[in-house]
Amino acid sequence: MAQNTNREVVDAVIAGAGPAGISAAITLARAGKEVVVLERGDYPGAKNMFGGAIYAQPAAEIFPEFWKTAPVERYNVEHRYALLGDKDGTTISYRNGEHSKEGHYNSFTVIRAKWDRWCAEQAEAAGAFIVPETLVESLIIEDGKVVGVKTEQEEFYAKVTIVADGVNSLLAKQAWDRPEIKPENVALGIKEVISLPKEKIQDRFNLEGDAGVIYTILGGPMQGIVGLGYVYTNLDSVVVGLGVSLEDLKHKKTKPYELLNELKKHPTIKPLINGGELLEYSAHLIPEGGFKAMPTLYKDGVMIVGDAAMLVNNVHWEGTNLAMMSGKFAAETALQAYDKEDYSANMLSLYQKKLEESFVLKDLKSYKNVMGFLEDNSKVFLGFYPSKINEFMNQFTAVDGVPKKTKYRQFIGDVIKQRSIPQIMSDGIKFANLAGGILLK
Ligand SMILES: Cc1cc2nc3c(=O)[nH]c(=O)nc-3n(C[C@H](O)[C@H](O)[C@H](O)COP(=O)(O)OP(=O)(O)OC[C@H]3O[C@@H](n4cnc5c(N)ncnc54)[C@H](O)[C@@H]3O)c2cc1C
């Protein structure tokens, strides 16, 4: 095909100004490269949502000491893990006071519309050119090589193209081998933001100053469903939400907002949000397929990063950190490619190598069987056992004139009636295999 040799070719064009795209952009701009970022939203972050917490260490790799100037809400000092029954719940919590000190921060709650915008401003200040309200429609492919992207209005040509358009990646679907997203490879995340005065949040969550708490919730209305709930504290609002497997929602014909309403009414959650005013309701897909659903990460002239590449560890609610690191690694690979003037798939394969050497692919690899395990065993591991833990706690704490030995025997008898000893042993082996897989792979 004849090519127009007079066309302008920038160093990099990036589709999407989320954490992945902006991290790539700022890394390239700081190295003096000419970068164009195309973002469909009115501004970066305008339409983006998450739980959520950004993680201090990876975020600081891109934005050193960001907490001094970025719009963060609270630094999180405590993780609470709540295992809910129908009307009861068992919560364990881990608090680390050190996480309230500069240099020891672990994570911060942020509001994406503000955070993403701030990150994009840093990239612009470093020299990146960000074009909002611009939907990338397709990749431009010439002689099998990606040479840029096409929007409704124009074509942008670049030595390297970075695909960072999120979970529902148009580009990955159109021109990549990433399979069409299947319900089993994606979860639906929904959330409500509920406004509460700052002092009330401090009292209810036992917090001082701008410290915050994260809840991860299992069971309750999601008993037997592959899904997790969450609560995050912002400065003067509380986020309550859940992420549920689309496959499970489809099979069980359950409506996600009904689950969320039930969660909000649960006695463990209700006192946290009582009297608050609903500010916002939003929903977004979350990649769930992980390592097994990842597409090829690079091709001639192009790399794919963040959610578009399915880089999410959803057991831990980790996505922004993988997105930022993948953006950074893709940019660093591009910098090596410019030095050699080689944009071939072979050269860009360094990107995958960097991911493999980092926690990103190490974690995704070791967790690769977790979602499949939970989907195959949800009734037992997300339904039966969590409910038994709460039943046990109920017996353990009740003062009701029944001798302890009688209670414990009755509890064990009930468990065995519902799940035989061979079944329990087989569950133990399955669980040990899963844990072994995480530790050894
Ligand atoms: C409910 C929920 C809770 C979560 N909680 C957490 C959490 O607490 N911590 C955490 O680390 N992660 C969390 N995640 C995951 C995290 O949000 C993602 O992993 C992360 O945002 C991925 O970043 P990204 O840049 O790859 O994609 P995105 O953040 O999705 O950014 C993609 C960008 O591309 C733009 N775009 C899309 N298509 C186009 C196009 N065709 N042309 C131009 N622009 C386009 C979008 O507007 C967007 O700005 C959560 C996700 C959800 C849904």
When the pLDDT of each residue in the chain is averaged and rounded to a whole number, the result is 94
Supply 353's token pair: 């190598």
275 — pLDDT class (breaks 50, 70, 90)? very high
51 lines ligand 1 (CB under 6 A): yes
- Answer whether 59's CB lies under 8 Å from 321's CB: yes
441 — pLDDT class (breaks 50, 70, 90)? low
Atom from ligand 1 closest to the CA of residue 19 = 25
Q: What percent of the chain has pLDDT over 70?
A: 97
For the chain, give every domain's residue range. Answer: 9-71+111-178+295-366, 184-287, 370-440
17 lines ligand 1 (CB under 6 A): yes
- Predicted confidence at residue 178, as pLDDT, reads 59
- Predicted confidence at residue 278, as pLDDT, reads 97
- CA–centroid distance, residue 111 to ligand 1 (Å): 12
Report whether pLDDT(185) > 50: yes
Question: Mean pLDDT lowest for which of 174-188, 235-249, 387-401?
Answer: 174-188
Average pLDDT over residues 26-35: 98
Question: Mean pLDDT lowest for which of 106-115, 163-172, 269-278?
Answer: 163-172
Please tell me which residue, 301 or 247, carries the higher pLDDT value: 301
Q: d(Cα 8, Cα 258) in Å, to the nearest integer?
A: 52
- Predicted confidence at residue 252, as pLDDT, reads 82
Nearest CA to ligand 1 atom 30: 166
- CA–centroid distance, residue 267 to ligand 1 (Å): 31
191 lines ligand 1 (CB under 6 A): yes
Residue 317 φ/ψ region, left for φ over 0, alpha for ψ in the -120 to 50 degree band, beta for the rest: left
| Chain segment 80-104, per-residue pLDDT in tens | 999 999 999 999 999 999 999 998 9
- Predicted confidence at residue 439, as pLDDT, reads 84
Torsion sign, CA atoms 9, 10, 11, 13: negative
CA-based max dimension of the chain:
90
241 lines ligand 1 (CB under 6 A): yes
What backbone phi and psi angles, to 5 degrees, belong to 26?
Answer: -70, -35
Average pLDDT over residues 258-273: 96
Torsion sign, CA atoms 39, 45, 51, 55: positive
Atom from ligand 1 closest to the CA of residue 322 = 19
Report whether pLDDT(417) > 60: yes
Closest CA to 303 of 139, 123, 160, 156: 160
- CA–centroid distance, residue 342 to ligand 1 (Å): 30
**Cis previous bond, 52, omega within 30:** yes
- Predicted confidence at residue 375, as pLDDT, reads 86
- CA–centroid distance, residue 18 to ligand 1 (Å): 6
Report whether pLDDT(339) > 80: yes
CA 265 to chain centre: 25
| Chain segment 276-287, per-residue pLDDT in tens | 999 999 999 999
Q: d(Cα 224, Cα 160) in Å, to the nearest integer?
A: 45
Q: d(Cα 133, Cα 20) in Å, to the nearest integer?
A: 18
- CA–centroid distance, residue 56 to ligand 1 (Å): 17
Report whether pLDDT(1) > 60: no
Average pLDDT over residues 135-149: 95
- CA–centroid distance, residue 154 to ligand 1 (Å): 25
Q: What angle do CA 315, 320, 322 make, to 5 degrees?
A: 75
Identify which of 307, 316, 329 to mutate to test ligand 1's pocket (most ligand atoms within 8 A of the CB). Answer: 307
- CA–centroid distance, residue 119 to ligand 1 (Å): 14
Atom from ligand 1 closest to the CA of residue 16 = 34
- Predicted confidence at residue 240, as pLDDT, reads 98
Q: Which fold has domain 9-71+111-178+295-366?
A: FAD/NAD(P)-binding domain (3.50.50)
Average pLDDT over residues 51-68: 97
Report whether pLDDT(257) > 80: yes
Average pLDDT over residues 309-328: 95
Q: d(Cα 51, Cα 191) in Å, to the nearest integer?
A: 7
- CA–centroid distance, residue 166 to ligand 1 (Å): 5
Average pLDDT over residues 334-338: 98
Atom from ligand 1 closest to the CA of residue 308 = 26
The CATH architecture that domain 184-287 belongs to is: 2-Layer Sandwich (3.30)
Q: d(Cα 22, Cα 25) in Å, to the nearest integer?
A: 5
- Predicted confidence at residue 251, as pLDDT, reads 83
21 lines ligand 1 (CB under 6 A): yes
- Predicted confidence at residue 176, as pLDDT, reads 67
419 lines ligand 1 (CB under 6 A): no
- Answer whether 70's CB lies under 8 Å from 63's CB: yes
50 lines ligand 1 (CB under 6 A): yes
Question: Mean pLDDT lowest for which of 5-9, 46-50, 128-132, 241-245?
Answer: 5-9
Q: Do the strands 155-163 and 9-15 form a parallel or antiparallel pair, or are they unpaired? A: parallel
- CA–centroid distance, residue 286 to ligand 1 (Å): 8
Average pLDDT over residues 225-233: 94
- Predicted confidence at residue 3, as pLDDT, reads 52
